Amino acid sequence: MGDKANTAAGAAGRALTADRPAAVRNVVLVGHSGSGKTTLVEALAQTAGALNRAGRVEDGGTVSDYDEIEHRQHRSVQLSLVPVDWDGYKINLLDTPGYADFVGELRAGLRAADAALFVVSAAQEADAIAASTRMIWEECAAVGMPRAIVVTHLDTARTDFGELTAVCGSLFGHDDPDAVLPLYLPVRGDEGADGHAPTTGLIGLLSEQVFDYSTGVRREGPPDEGLRELVADARARLIEGIIAESEDETLMDRYLGGGTIDAKTLVDDLEKAVARGAFHPVLAAAPAAGGGTQGLGTLELLELITGGFPSPLEHEPPAVTTPDGRPRPPITCDPEGPLVAEIVKTTSDPYVGRVSLVRVFSGTLRPDETVHVSGHGLTDRGHEDHDVDERLGGLTSPFGKQQRPMAECIAGDLACVARLGRAETGDTLSAKDDPLLIAPWTMPEPLLPLAVQAHGKADEDRLSQGLARLVAEDPTLRLEQNQDTRQVVLWCLGEAHQDVVLERLRGRYGVQVDAVPYKVALRETFGSASAGRGRHVKQSGGHGQYAICEIEVEPLPPGSGIEFVDKVVGGAVPRQFVPSVEKGVRAQAARGVAAGYPLVDIRVTLKDGKAHSVDSSDAAFQTAGALALREAAAEVAVHLLEPVAEVQVLVPDEYVGPVMSDLSGRRGRVVGTEQAGPGRTLVRAEVPEIEIGRYAIDLRSVSHGTGRFDRAYVRHEPMPSHLAGKVREQA
């Protein structure tokens, strides 16, 4: 690599098309927030000739981070596609957010891509890189994604490329640090007045050529003898690393025997090792200097993408079934095969409407054809399942805010589709006469609640529509209409995710909402047996109301609900009014008797009562039943019950102590720990839900961003009296 012609095909303004899957490269850029992914995308686009010399598209905007929220927050919050043409290839660059709250966008990018560029900033300390990038690397490894590492911000003061490469090897190489090695080393220019020497070029360890970018255009030449000696050790280690991953077992014997391995053999073996995910080369990149058109290392990256990364033909597509779950033969990346495409992202455009970003795995997608929409098993998050036919709108290739028309989208390529009114992220598009279904990728569980309410009367009507469109765009959201607390709750991944959700509701959908404190679904129950008498007797000149009932109440074991027993003798309460008493008791129990929370786990026995031949009625006995329950509650202690969740926290071993201490401080009971892989521990605890409302945020702080957790409801149990007293006061 580094020996190919420095051609840059493709120009801004013309549509990008791929005539065969082998000419497509789908590459996702991942890395910690602030690592420079978006800047790198623009540098690659500029080198490929898709941007003007100022790094702008035709309308003056940028190719990524063009969303209004991204402009205001100065960070990526969504997956964006930037397609470029280079050297006969169509390269789909997928820019992902680096912030942990948007891991759903990262996973969507991994689903759409065939390889990943892992971007690491040299400006970050080694400890910070370890904390913020290890989880992202594991996300890539979990789906078997081939990866290369790109180091940015090389000219940051005190940057040591060798040290940073060693850190990457220890973090990402696991048992084999020699699987993470540089292909190029930076070349420094003359020191300035501040004593800092800028990076002006790269030296290829395989080609032994210097690539000078000091003018903004790459110039190639031989290194001087001093530079050659400087890189000799790194070159030898790289060659050994490539040979170790070679499928030709004779190479190592030849090399150890003093034989010479030609550069073409090494490059071919390197590309094969990268494509199958066995070797992760390290490169460096920076934007073009001095108004040039080629940024440092961008040509080398484009050469790696086209020569070393797999095409869609080499990436095994996901398994398919029929919508009802019957197995189907595996699909292949064949433009002539059955149509199978997946929606990896959904957005709303104020002029076009809903726009779906689609990855085609098999067949060919064409504008204005009718397809079948199947999906997608996320009904628990407010996403309905789909099994409908829809007519496609136009196909386009996005570039910044522009949408360039596409005549078709073949297997292996990506496109934007307009006018899919029902389809959502994760849904499968297939032929209407041969419907198929791809199982959706795993979505992260949202565990941070955001309770919202309409700001005014005018917003109430728009709120449900805005929430539906929001949930259709973002499958990491879970919409809950909590019947116990009567709150509308959006479960998010973190505070930044919450901010984006609120901004989209207010800005994109015009719904003014207020965030309100989230309520935990408490319960009430009797502390001991009691009795009550309900007397509802009124006479106001007309038809009167007369009903008297006497009840006994006793507590039941947890989970028993409410039992109603009729033990009236002698017709003291006529048969037709016994259900009325029960209805009144249950209605009052639902409203609560102490702090306004539902009353549970009691047995109510109707013992006696009185009726009037004229003035007794269903409504009167309902009121009497409610009054009797309230009187019984006034005679005894009523306990507040709080929900308890089982929390499972997965953290690196070094954070087990702080996590357990934090859980104990939340009134949690640690019930066990167990090893969950090398250097990882799973901590299991039972914690009151009222104490973990913000745990998604707090765990990130305690574990330096490396911890994960999930939660599941276990039971309700009595709340400590001092806390219950505060709740009653607030009620």
Residue 595 is part of a domain; what is its CATH number? Answer: 3.30.230.10
Is 38 in the same domain as 173?
yes
User: What does the alpha-carbon distance between residue 470 and residue 450 come to, in Å, rounded to a whole number?
Assistant: 14
pLDDT single digits (tens) 157-195: 667 888 888 888 888 876 677 889 999 999 987 776 666
Residue 305 φ then ψ, to 5°: -60, -45
User: What does the alpha-carbon distance between residue 374 and residue 100 come to, in Å, rounded to a whole number?
Assistant: 29
Q: Which helix (H) or strand (E) holds 302?
A: helix 298-308
727 contact partners, CB below 8 Å, separation of at least 6: 522, 595, 640, 719
Domain-ending residue, one of 438, 460, 491: 438
In a domain, 268, yes or no: no
Closest CA to 609 of 531, 550, 546: 550
* CB contact at 8 A, 538 and 550: no
The one-letter amino acid code at 656 reads V
According to DSSP, residue 380 is labeled: G
Is 64 in the same domain as 179?
yes
Peptide bond into 376 cis (omega under 30): yes
User: What does the alpha-carbon distance between residue 664 and residue 401 come to, in Å, rounded to a whole number?
Assistant: 50
Q: Strand runs (DSSP E) across 632-707, as ranges?
A: 638-652, 669-675, 680-688
pLDDT at 246: 86
Split into its structural domains, the chain has a count of: 5
615 contact partners, CB below 8 Å, separation of at least 6: 539, 543, 544, 545, 546
User: What does the alpha-carbon distance between residue 420 and residue 371 come to, in Å, rounded to a whole number?
Assistant: 10
Residues listed for the chain: 731
In a domain, 5, yes or no: no
Is 631 in the same domain as 644?
no
Alpha helices by DSSP H, listed for 426-509, are 457-473, 495-503
pLDDT at 631: 96
Is 212 in the same domain as 341?
no
Is 209 in the same domain as 328?
no
* CB contact at 8 A, 520 and 643: yes
Is 468 in the same domain as 570?
no
Summarize the chain as % helix, strand, coil (round to 5).
30, 30, 40
User: What does the alpha-carbon distance between residue 355 and residue 659 come to, in Å, rounded to a whole number?
Assistant: 42
* CB contact at 8 A, 379 and 479: no
Which residues, listed in sequence order, are joined to residue 182 by a DSSP beta bridge? 282
Structure tokens at 565: 């027993």
**If you count DSSP H runs as helices and E runs as strands, how many of each does the chain have, helices first?**
17, 36
Domain with 45 in it: what CATH number?
Answer: 3.40.50.300
Residue 636 gets the label, from left (phi > 0), alpha (psi -120 to 50) or beta, of: beta
pLDDT at 177: 77
User: What does the alpha-carbon distance between residue 479 and residue 154 come to, in Å, rounded to a whole number?
Assistant: 43
Is 49 in the same domain as 140?
yes
Q: Strand runs (DSSP E) across 363-439, as ranges?
A: 364-365, 370-375, 386-391, 395-399, 402-406, 409-410, 414-418, 428-431, 437-438
The one-letter amino acid code at 144 reads G
Is 622 in the same domain as 681?
no
Q: Strand runs (DSSP E) across 215-263, as ranges?
A: 219-221
Q: Which parts of the chain register pLDDT below 70?
A: 1-18, 51-76, 125-132, 157-158, 174-175, 192-195, 290-291, 350, 376-384, 541-542
In a domain, 267, yes or no: no
Helix, strand, or coil (residue 667): coil
Is 83 in the same domain as 171?
yes
pLDDT at 469: 84
In a domain, 175, yes or no: yes
User: What does the alpha-carbon distance between residue 170 and residue 414 come to, in Å, rounded to a whole number?
Assistant: 35
* CB contact at 8 A, 41 and 91: no
Is 218 in the same domain as 347?
no
State the chain's maximal CA–CA distance in angstroms.
117
Is 139 in the same domain as 69?
yes
Helix, strand, or coil (residue 614): coil
Q: What global pTM score does this model have? A: 0.85
Is 197 in the same domain as 113?
yes
pLDDT at 698: 95
Closest CA to 590 of 622, 554, 565: 622
265 contact partners, CB below 8 Å, separation of at least 6: 251
According to DSSP, residue 720 is labeled: P
pLDDT at 626: 97
* CB contact at 8 A, 84 and 94: no
In a domain, 480, yes or no: yes
Q: How buried is residue 267: exposed, middle or buried, by Cβ count under 10 Å (0-12/13-18/19+)? A: buried
Domain hosting 673: range is 640-730
Other Cβ atoms less than 10 A from the Cβ of 500: the count is 23
Residue 564 φ then ψ, to 5°: -125, 125
141 contact partners, CB below 8 Å, separation of at least 6: none
In a domain, 251, yes or no: no
In a domain, 4, yes or no: no
Closest CA to 315 of 148, 143, 107, 172: 143
pLDDT at 5: 36
Closest CA to 624 of 526, 531, 553, 537: 537
What distances in angstroms separate CA 483 from CA 486, 609, 689, one per listed residue?
Answer: 5, 34, 17
Residue 611 gets the label, from left (phi > 0), alpha (psi -120 to 50) or beta, of: beta
Domain with 689 in it: what CATH number?
Answer: 3.30.70.240
User: What does the alpha-carbon distance between residue 55 and residue 294 come to, in Å, rounded to a whole number?
Assistant: 11
Domain with 485 in it: what CATH number?
Answer: 3.30.70.870
The one-letter amino acid code at 292 reads G
User: What does the alpha-carbon distance between residue 578 and residue 560 come to, in Å, rounded to a whole number?
Assistant: 22
Domain-ending residue, one of 264, 290, 314: 314
Domain-ending residue, one of 472, 490, 516: 516
Helix, strand, or coil (residue 700): helix
Q: Which residues of 84-104 are buried (b: 16+ CB within 10 A; e: fewer)?
A: bbbbebbbbbbbbbbbbbbbb
Residue 70 gets the label, from left (phi > 0), alpha (psi -120 to 50) or beta, of: alpha
Strands 147-152 and 115-121: parallel
Domain with 424 in it: what CATH number?
Answer: 2.40.30.10
In a domain, 9, yes or no: no
